[in-house]
Structure 1
């Protein structure tokens, strides 16, 4: 009985001693006292659970300089540890990025933290630390991780490319990230891959004001490959933003200007919102050019439906036939069908409302449609 009591007492004292040492380790991290921490670690290694807590504490205190010591003394595999949060089970690297502790994240990358391990133990290879770096819009950390991954060849190039492209599809790309991805020495991608990156970037910034910095980055990077429609879409974004300065810069690139003329998207740019001042200027700029018109595109129905009648003579002059059947809003119709349809809608509206001003407006629209019909009939 007596030996058993002694054993229990010794066990309790041992536990208290361990707990006391662990508390002292925490205090050493809190104060940044590396000498004390090293002394405690050499005397007795913390348990795996305590180790994770110590690493988490080092992250919280922005004590990234302590991390190498913790890892070296314990030798635990760095990528096996998960810290539970409300949303996920995060590796230490993912946790550092989530907390915007970017210097600590760099240190963990140097120590061998896996940049590609799934964050939440789910079979979604794209939710990983490198993806999270894109999600935080940290150009510097993203660049650091990219360089490290390429040097260590820690992921096949095509998989690496797919990951970056997926990140670009989900997030607005920063200029710094784009520079890294399209830099020839860092990403020796195939021509087809560069085309895909180019399309994704254009898609993400459509409708936003490009500004010269974006345009310069896109146009002057030889790895940024643009097809005709992508170039036309850039013109559309400039057009929507009514950015005259960017338009002038855009038109200084003769090869891109040529691609604008080759894209069947370009005539639509002139039709859409052509009543705007900027649109009228752009239309005037391109009206004298020989543009490429898609055979089945509903240019005339679109112009008639949205009342852009001033553009119709130019469309007819460029060979767009009013007799051609096209798919417009799920209907097969030619230009004459569109006029009939719009006129019918106008007369129906007039029969349902007796407001004098409104009736006058509708009558003027119908009169204009009749002029358009006459113009189409004169087409040769």
Structure 2
């Protein structure tokens, strides 16, 4: 009880402190204190109800015991009456029934003992009843104190509620300001999110622009290389320069060549380079594959691709002979054993997989230059 009173006083002190320094949380704190006080009141009521049930049980037990004592008293009275009657008969029949008198004397002593025992039992029951009445008195006092304490708490709760209502009325404008601030914060958050998305879009556009510039640079480089090849091809055709037109080989096509092999080979007449083209729509993994070249009946030469080499769909790789192709691109390789050949030579190309199976063959014969 004193602890609850102290808790309520501390709640009032905290409420006063909060009302002075934290105006935005007064209602919440007052509501918490009110809920705590109501919980304590409910706990006390439950405790009183439990004590009332125990008291009712004890009262019933006492009533049962009192009934038993009453029965014992009645039985004792009946026995005493019987004893007196018996004694009267004994006095009348004493000369004739001395033995019976002795037996009756014994029965009397036994009856007195029983009466003594019953008196002691009755005394204990009376003491228990007195103790029960005392407990009832204590419980009644506690109930009165609890009721008084509850009434006091109800009064204080009413005061606190009125104080909360006053604080709510005073802080209405503050809540309006808080709501406006929250709305402004939401708008700022939306603006920040929009700016972040715009920055990310600009970054993506920048990356895409750089990729486009790089692709355009690569395309321009390819266009320059193609233009040089076309100029050299035209010069060789009309002026008799280093290049000449390649024609289909007179040698019969190999039996292993298939129309869906997915490879083509472009050959420079004087052995400056050869170009392997992936004409299919799928990437080709050429890791540890071998490209073999045989000029006429000479011993063939071989180039082995790296283990991680991959030729993309529609792409090509240019393999330059030693001394040519000084400015290598990503699609250029160097074939040290590749040497020049003359007009009229027959070239046979064979492409083997890493398991040694032939994948592609091609023959080229260059016409005489006049």
Q: TM-score, normalised by structure 2?
A: 0.17
Greater share of helix residues, 1 or 2? 1
Greater share of strand residues, 1 or 2? 2
RCO higher in 1 or 2 (8 Å CA, sep ≥ 6)? 2
Q: Which has the larger radius of gyration?
A: 2
